[in-house]
Chain A
Amino acid sequence: MHYLLRRLGFYLLAAWAALTINFFLPRLMPGDPASTLFARFKGKLDPAAIEALRATFGLTDAPLWRQYLTSLGHVLQGDLGVSIAYFPSPVAEVIGTGLGWTLFLAGSAVIVSFAIGTLLGVVAAWWRRGWADSWLPSTLIFVGAFPYFWLAMAALYVLGFTLGWFPLGHAYSDDAVPGWTWAFTADVLRHAALPMTTIVLVTLGGWLLTMRNTMISLLGSDYVNLARAKGLPSAQVALRYAARNALLPSVTGFGMALGFVLGGSLLTEIVFSYPGQGYLLVQAVRAQDYPLMQGIFLVITLAVLGTNWLVDLIYLWLDPRTRDAGS
């Protein structure tokens, strides 16, 4: 329990750091971009929008610390300001429309990739110098060297454009009616298949290598040798004895990989015009919609922190030593 609380404290600290970066970033930049922003939008935006923008940045005449506290208070109430590009929609509302899609796409891609990659790592380590150990890692490293979004472009070109096997973009067909029906679910899965596969392909190699390397060093340890000497079935030695312990570094990496994969999936979304956070983020960048941009950063950060805490829970279950240290 102590362990979990300490981790929770750390994530709160990280969330606070993200909020602080969000607050000071516009104020630290050379030439005060907030003012130049207002100057640029003068005439294009109505005064109400500019006022909303000022309020978003907390750019009042109050002293800095008071502005800071006001901005923190707003965020705590779920108020992320007003979007410029989608004026007068609040940022929180705009983000809400895309968040589900991103979590669905990136989340399932990470889980699928982790499961397959880790299993392949076990296979590669157990049958040392077999097919899974000799050519699979270097192939996957080569695939992993491509930028996510480039692989997505190539897949879209070959499988979507030339062969016509997959839809060319978006989360579901124009004529589909959203709802919990089989037809709609199948449609969504068909649209998600290609983006998800590209993310899985790029990230697979990392999981495989981490698992393989830890597994190899564990296979030489005494308790595994003893298990084998006792005559336990191979599958039991490989999975229950070696793999369970070898999983620990991979699980630690899982939390950190999450931010990375989310970043990559943002880029993949753009290639597939997938209506998630990445798509919104690019719209925000191109329209210089700073409140929306910062809101997306904040929401993504909070999602990553929350998942990291869940990963800590899993770690606690996997590794009894953390439990003992906590009590």
Chain B
Amino acid sequence: MSRADATQATGLGAWAHAIRRDRKALSGAIILAVFALVGIAGPWFAGDPSALVGVPLQPPSGAHWLGTNGQGQDVLAQLIAGTRVSLAVGFGVGLAVVLLGALVGVTAGYFGDRVDALLSVFSNVFLVLPGLPLAIVIAAYLPSGPFTVALVLTLTGWAWNARVLRAQTLALRRRDFVAAAVVAGESEWRLLLVEIVPNMLSVLVAQVIGSTVYAIGAQVGLEFLGLGDVARVTWGTMLYWAQNDAALLTGSWWTFVPPGLCVALVGFALTMLNSGFDEITNPRLQLERVWRAFLERRGVPAGRSTPVVREP
């Protein structure tokens, strides 16, 4: 890796580059793109997901590719309509959770002392409180719907991000270039927004991806419990109705397998994307790859340790 590449790898444009170079990241990105396309364009082609189109609990056939559910609605049309809401809530919460986490974590790490002590205890308390039970209790008091689900998941999910970002800020705060900026008399806002936050960009992007995985899973869980708006079609409410209509006991696997598979595929794609980015941006893994290539060229088997190698 040359110097030019190294500097490029810290910029935003590196993401596209990283996706193209890494097989894991590429497959993740392709799966996500397909889901995004279905979520955006699908509902125009799929027809009304709530229309009663046939006999309830029909297995997949030519007329209904994924069969019908317990109400006699088309499962495929529901799946496509559900993609939009489920992904929108997932990514929305993923973003919101990281923003809230960044607000608390960066403030704590940057200002230190009492602010830090207070905010750290605050986020640690939220970290140790069990998230899903808390989310259920809050959601039960609010009117049901996608917005409530998003709000509740944001409130219960930000603490981990705050903790990681605080550590990142603390590490950056001690770096020479920040000290130089302080000496140069830059304002606190400029220090935060120009010197510190842009340098955490790769962590922030990784967190948004990770939080989205959390959000989609938790959202489906809440809706499965009936805490979403059960009249609205999402992957979670599809599972709720499948359980309610005793899909298992009637053997109608087509009502609960597709939404679960979609959740898993999206989660898997996001995780692949994240680990692909990690391979690119983590200097340790980067060096290991360089070192292994070096050894392989000379026909030496690689050892167990990850060595520290100067750039060749």
Contacts and interface: CB of A to CB of B under 8 A. Distances in A.
Contacts of A18: 129
Contacts of B265: 145
A267 B260 CA distance: 14
Contacts of B134: 21, 297, 301
A156 B242 CA distance: 14
Interface string A167-211: 010000000000000000000000000000000000000000000
- Identify which of B160, B217, B304 gathers the most chain A CB atoms within 10 Å of its CB: B304
Nearest to A125: B304
A281 B251 CA distance: 27
B82 to A, nearest CB: 14
Contacts of A300: 130, 133
Given A153-B260, A293-B137, A145 B127 contact: no
Interface stretch (B104-112, B138-146, B169-177, B188-196): B138-146
A157 interface: yes
A221 B72 CA distance: 62
Given A146-B263, A161-B251, A267-B221, A10 B124 contact: yes
Contact of A141 (B243, B253, B271): B271
Given A149-B221, A149-B224, A153-B260, A216 B125 contact: no
B306 A154 contact: no
Nearest to A156: B248
B308 to A, nearest CB: 8
A264 B132 contact: yes
B307 interface: yes
B136 A145 contact: no
Contacts of A153: 239, 242-243, 248, 256, 260
B260 A259 contact: no
Interface string A257-293: 0111011101100110000000001100110101001
Contact of A267 (B121, B127, B224): B224
A263 B133 contact: yes
Residues of A in contact with B, size category = 35 or more
Interface in A296-327: 296-297, 300-301, 304-305, 308
Interface in B78-133: 121, 124-125, 127-133
A297 B137 CA distance: 7
A262 B239 contact: no
Contacts of A157: 248, 251, 253, 256
B225 A285 contact: yes
A145 B125 contact: no
A296 B133 contact: yes
Contacts of A148: 221
A154 B226 CA distance: 20
A128 interface: yes
Contacts of A13: 121, 125
B243 A260 contact: no
A17 B122 CA distance: 9
A170 to B, nearest CB: 14
Interface string A134-153: 00001001101111111101
Contacts of A138: 272
A154 B257 contact: yes
A217 B125 contact: no
A150 B261 CA distance: 9
B226 A286 contact: yes
Interface in A212-266: 216-217, 219-220, 224-225, 255-256, 258-260, 262-264, 266
A114 interface: no
A98 interface: no
A114 B217 CA distance: 21
Contacts, number: 164
B20 interface: no
A151 B264 CA distance: 10
A139 to B, nearest CB: 10
A219 B304 CA distance: 7
Nearest to B260: A150
Interface string B214-254: 00010011001111000000000001001100001101010
A168 B224 CA distance: 19
B15 interface: no
Interface in B275-312: 284, 302, 304-307
A141 to B, nearest CB: 5
Interface stretch (A25-33, A60-68, A74-82, A87-95): A25-33
A38 to B, nearest CB: 14
A267 B243 CA distance: 12
Contacts of A144: 267
Given A21-B134, A294-B137, A259 B248 contact: no
A293 B133 CA distance: 9
B294 to A, nearest CB: 16
Nearest to B271: A141
- Identify which of B136, B137, B256 gathers the most chain A CB atoms within 10 Å of its CB: B137
Nearest to B142: A29
Contacts of A14: 124-125, 128-129
B133 A154 contact: no
A23 interface: no
Nearest to A219: B304
Contacts of B304: 126, 128, 219-220
Given A145-B213, A168-B249, 6 more contacts: A14-B128, A26-B141, A147-B221, A161-B251, A219-B305, A260-B132
The 6 closest A-B pairs by CB, nearest first: A263-B132, A145-B267, A259-B130, A220-B305, A150-B260, A146-B264
17 contacts: A17-B125, A128-B302, A141-B272, A147-B220, A147-B239, A147-B263, A150-B260, A150-B264, A151-B260, A153-B248, A154-B256, A162-B251, A219-B304, A219-B305, A256-B160, A267-B224, A288-B140
